[in-house]
Amino acid sequence: MTAERQIHNKCILVTGGAGFIGSNLIERLLLQNNQVVCLDNLLTGKIENIEPFLKNSHFSFIQGDIRDPKSCQKAVDGVDLVLHQAALGSVPRSINDPITTNDININGFLNMLAASRDAKVKRFVYAASSSTYGDNYTLPKMEENIGKPLSPYAITKYVNELYADVFSRLYGMETIGLRYFNVFGRRQDPQGAYAAVIPKFVKLLIDHESPVINGDGNFSRDFTYIDNVIQANELAATVQNEDALNTVYNVAYGENTTLNSLFDILKEELSHFDPEIVKVQKIHAPNREGDIPHSLASIAKAQKLLGYNPQFDSKTGLKEAVKWYWKNLK
């Protein structure tokens, strides 16, 4: 990505900035001479993720909740741009607790949109989700062709898109939604009941424990390395083509990997550090409620309108992620 399509010398709010994706965005933005405000309630985000930035004079942290309009208003004061990453993730968590998921992901999102409108923030880039495709099993997934949502989480992320579209039409805000596909990489938390599959598998393998794969392992996902996501956010934040605004884009690499292949790749990469990991076997369990069999994105729209050109396929990204986890989980 060329320098002119990076974000420089701006004041940017990153909501959910103490989370996995948000903290990686902050790290990049600070390297590019931006002033960065982080808003996070630390419900799922971690203070350790932003600890390296706390002494940086270009960084400020607001511990607040997007469900609180006053926190949102304080956070957007004086900012040029919002990168909205805050949400309560996880399909299974939303099935277990749909009310909290709705409260954070819809009410919180609306609070952030309204605060951004009132503060005259010109552009609002937000994390959307591949879960929006629901029961449309057509591959590859194309932005204009979605199905019925399969979980409360998916409903909330689709409602976000509807609200963003309405705010663009009614109030002249520039909004861009980025439908993330199975993002992974440094700082993604391996702990907890709702941990994502890659960090969870890595941690178990490092500990010589058997990962559990739901189903026969032939379900597949378009695993997307964090640096591709950072690129997409910067492109969405800086694009000037009016045709590229007020819409949504898939953010992925555009290839799918089965869970069985994922396990094999992780085992191979980790065995370079610990040969004993080769002996660890996987365990199969029943399919998980709300899961779709396959996910594969078309990235043609983002390539055409944003200039998106992801640099990391899943295997290259997994190599990088494994190096980071080995250093930080040992």
Radius of gyration for the chain, computed over Cα atoms and rounded to the nearest angstrom: 19
Helix (H, G, I), strand (E, B) or coil at 175: strand
Q: Cα 24 from chain centroid?
A: 10
Cα–Cα distance, 126 to 161 (Å, whole number): 9
Place of tokens 């309108």: 305
Could you list the active site residues?
Answer: 153
Q: How far apart are CA 194 and CA 172, in angstroms?
A: 37
pLDDT band at 4 (very low <50, low <70, confident <90, very high): low
Cα three-residue angle 37-43-44, rounded to 5 degrees: 85
Query: Token pair for residue 42?
Result: 């630390």
CA end-to-end span of the chain: 33
Could you tell me if residue 208 is inside a domain? no
The three-class DSSP label of residue 245 is coil
> Domain count of the chain?
1
CATH of the domain at 79: 3.40.50.720
Q: Exposed/middle/buried for 303, CB within 10 Å: 0-12, 13-18, 19+?
A: middle
pTM of the complete model beyond 0.85: yes
φ, ψ for residue 212 (rounded to 5)? -100, 125
Residue 290 pLDDT? 64
| Token output for 200 | 């969870």
Residue 193 lies in a domain: no
168 domain-assigned = yes
pLDDT tens digit sequence for 286-317: 887 767 789 999 999 999 999 999 999 999 99
Residue 329 falls within a domain, yes or no? no
Tell me, yes or no, whether 128 lies in a domain: yes
Residue-level pLDDT at 3: 42
* Sign (positive or negative) of CA dihedral 133, 139, 141, 144: negative
Task: Point out which residues pair with 283 in neighbouring strands.
Answer: 212
Domain that holds residue 157: 8-186+224-255+296-312
291 vs 34: CA distance, rounded Å: 39
Residue 1 has pLDDT above 50, yes or no: no
The answer to whether residue 34 sits within a structural domain is yes
Phi, psi values for residue 138, rounded to 5°: -65, 135
- Residue 62 in domain: yes
Token couple for 236: 């969405």
Q: What is the residue-averaged pLDDT of the chain?
A: 95
The string of DSSP codes covering 298-311 is --HHHHHHH-----
pLDDT digits (tens, 9 = 90+) for 118-174: 999 999 999 999 999 999 989 999 999 999 999 999 999 999 999 999 999 999 999
Mean pLDDT within 12-23: 98
Q: Are 56 and 29 in contact (CB under 8 A)?
A: no
Other Cβ atoms within 10 Å of 99 Cβ, number: 9
Collapsing DSSP states into helix, strand and coil, what is residue 236? helix
| 74 found inside a domain | yes
Mean local confidence (pLDDT), 88-115 = 96
Pairwise CA distance, residues 207 & 72, whole Å: 41
